[in-house]
Structure 1
């Protein structure tokens, strides 16, 4: 991508202005509505005249089209919202992808599911208008990686009308936040790059564009000072390492270095340390070897690590005589729903027996 196009895309039609009638997320929801109604059963665009979109329908359903998208759509006889199959080799990551870290274990598990069940949900892509036949991933980078690992050659996709830039970034960011899969570590790496590449001139400008408090940006940029190998150790446990915990680990790393920090991370996981406990370690009120539990904090009696297909996904803890706590993260939606159904059946069966 040429720098001029990159800059133009980044500034094009920002969805933070009052003149923008629909946000990127609104537009994507409208597209998904089209897909679920009558376009999901259509074949891939194949040159038939019926594949032309009705301009009036497009205007009222999704809002005005960009000139580049309209030209591409008409040239390729594409219906907005239509699911088509594209070669995986034609798909490339967006320079404004909100996610930086992809866990190998998670990709491997999804690859197994895709190999068995096929791709159930289309990804969203944006045409690269300066490189005919290629597309940027707007949403679905994890599925693309898993399909490649499963040795697939094509991907089901919906082509959306967004500029590569802040709008496409915010769309991916908002979707990840909804799924609870956007981490402070992804933010740290990406936001640091935004500022280094001078797409924003200050933390405040970045915060204004994203609609976030400047303190949120500041915490993430502090975390960005950590080496990536240290971040990787925490990315795998988002239930333990949120923004506050990551910030305390960053402070510890500044004072003690990488090796000591990796040991602290292991202790946080094994001993279930709280953010306050880690803050006490950072301040020297406790040591990483022995850190007292705060008064009133109940220690679990037993902890069972739970694995699915050899991958750690959470734990089951017992407290006292009458409390169980189950925490699972990183599951596919299908696996989550399956486990929830099994737990509900087990509990209902227990009530019936009583």
Structure 2
């Protein structure tokens, strides 16, 4: 298959560790060059939101297209960058999806939003040329799951010219890096599978292809030895369980097993243990039950986990007889301001009595 314009833009600059975010932006710009959302919007406003457009339009800028995509596009009279509606039953996950874990609470929350507001952003799909009428998800797997959860039958999609394989993986990976939604646990599962399936011959080759240090690959592969049920307990809290913390937990699991590891994970969350404290537990300098606190750090009396729409966003802790500490994160500006006004309204009567 001839390299497409999409793939050429994909290779605009070699990846390096220091330019991981910049490379993601390069690839996003490459997508914008092929997927013209304004053109799609104009087509919809002219009553041409389906896949049927003029033959002249379908032949525009076809010199760099892959043969398979051109044949599909002409057969379906599709215009590059056009938003169309596809049956959800025709959409299937890509075997090169960079994501492995999808939280049920997150999908349920998005399903509620989609049910109320509808789908605002089209997903990207790649035709399965061997099974006409079906498509692989290139970007938007979470939206597909949420739409199914909301009992929808169709999905808005843009069909892109990119072969299913490592290139499509890199696209999804870089998009997720740009959104900060790619986790070390996704990487652990997928990178191990790439090596097991022979897509890369060594950690070094995989690291070079992704533009990462080989040590980053090695850490992720060590984490892949954890059982998935243990990973699930950490996936929901990427702010607490990054690569370093997960690496120490992997070492602890090797020595103590799953049950003890799950107890340690719960203690890390409830007691807000630092990576250094967990490293001390792993090395045997402290016990998982009686972890030493930094000097001057006061132990809270009670802790209440706070959830919004089923998703953990922080906690409320009480200290001694006169101190409360509220910590919230990951809120939208609107939700933050709403909560702030509610707290102010609660405290106003107290202040007026003084």
Q: Give CA deviations for 1:138-184 in whole Å, capped at 9, x if unaligned.
A: 11101101111111110011111111112211111111112111110
* Aligned equivalent of 1:66: 66
* 2:12–2:27 CA contact under 8 A, matched in 1: no
- State the SS of the aligned residue for 2:315: strand
Residues 73-112 of structure 1: per-residue CA shift (max 9 Å, x gap) = 1221111111100000100000100000011111111111
State the match for 1:252 in structure 2.
252
Alignment partners' CA distance in 1, 2:233 and 2:14: 43
Tell me, what secondary structure is at the counterpart of 1:198? coil
The match for 1:150 is 150
- TM-score scaled to structure 2, two decimals? 0.83
Contact 1:88 1:144 in 2 (8 A): yes
What's the offset of the Cα at 1:310? 3.7
Is 1:100 paired with 2:100? Answer: yes
CA distance in 2, matches of 1:26, 1:288: 48
**Structure 1: distance between partners of 2:239 and 2:192:** 23
| Structure 1 counterpart of 2:334 | 338
Q: 1:201 is paired with a residue of what secondary structure?
A: coil
SS at match of 1:114: helix
C-alpha contact 2:306 2:314 (8 A) present in aligned 1 = yes
Deviation at 1:35, TM superposition (A): 5.5
| Change over 3 Å in CA distance of 1:37–1:296 after alignment to 2 | farther
Q: State how far apart, in whole Å, the 2-side matches of 1:129 and 1:203 are.
A: 31
Give the whole-Å Cα distance in 2 for the aligned partners of 1:110 and 1:51.
39
Question: TM (normalized to structure 1)?
Answer: 0.83
CA distance in 1, matches of 2:74, 2:119: 27
Q: Does 1:117 align with 2:117?
A: yes
Q: Tell me how far apart the structure 2 counterparts of residues 340 and 227 of structure 1 sit (CA, whole Å).
A: 36
On the 8 A contact 2:316/2:324 being kept in 1, the answer is: no
After superposition, where does 1:206-221 map in structure 2 within 5 Å? 206-221=206-221
Report the counterpart of residue 176 of structure 2 in structure 1.
Answer: 176
Whether 1:328 and 2:329 are equivalent positions in the alignment is yes
Q: Is the 8 A contact 1:195 1:202 kept in 2?
A: yes
The 1:343–1:40 alpha-carbon spacing in structure 2 relative to 1, beyond 3 Å, is farther
Superimposed CA distance per residue, residues 292-351 of structure 1 (whole angstroms, 9 cap, x where no aligned partner)? 11336676676542212344333356889999663334x7xxxx243144367679999x
1:185-264 matches, cutoff 5 A: 185-264=185-264
Equivalent-residue separation in structure 2 for 1:114 and 1:315 (angstroms): 28
- Out of 40, 46, 50, the position equivalent to 1:45 is 50
- Tell me the secondary structure at the aligned position of residue 52 of structure 1: helix
- Structure 1: how far apart are the matches of 2:301 and 2:39? 50
* C-alpha distance 35-103 of structure 1, shift in aligned 2 (>3 A): farther
Native 8 Å contact 2:53 2:78 kept in 1: no
Aligned to 1:270: 270
What SS class does the counterpart of residue 306 from structure 2 fall into? strand
Moved more, 233-242 or 277-286: 233-242
Query: Counterparts of 2:206 and 2:119 in 1: how far apart (Å)?
Result: 35
Over 3 Å counting, the alpha-carbon distance change for 1:93 and 1:105 in structure 2 is same
Distance 1:138 1:293 in 2: 46
Change in CA separation of 1:78 and 1:319 when aligned onto 2, cut-off 3 Å: farther
Aligned-partner Cα distance in 1 for 2:68–2:190: 27
1:28 to 5, 25, 31: 31
Distance of 2:175 and 2:281 partners within structure 1: 36
Report SS of the residue matched to 1:307. strand
From the superposition, tell whether residues 68 and 303 of structure 1 become closer, same or farther in structure 2 (CA, over 3 Å).
same
> SS of 1:121's equivalent?
coil
Find the aligned partners of 2:173 and 2:229 in 1 and give their Cα distance: 23
Q: Name the CA distance, whole Å, in 1 between partners of 2:336 and 2:123.
A: 26
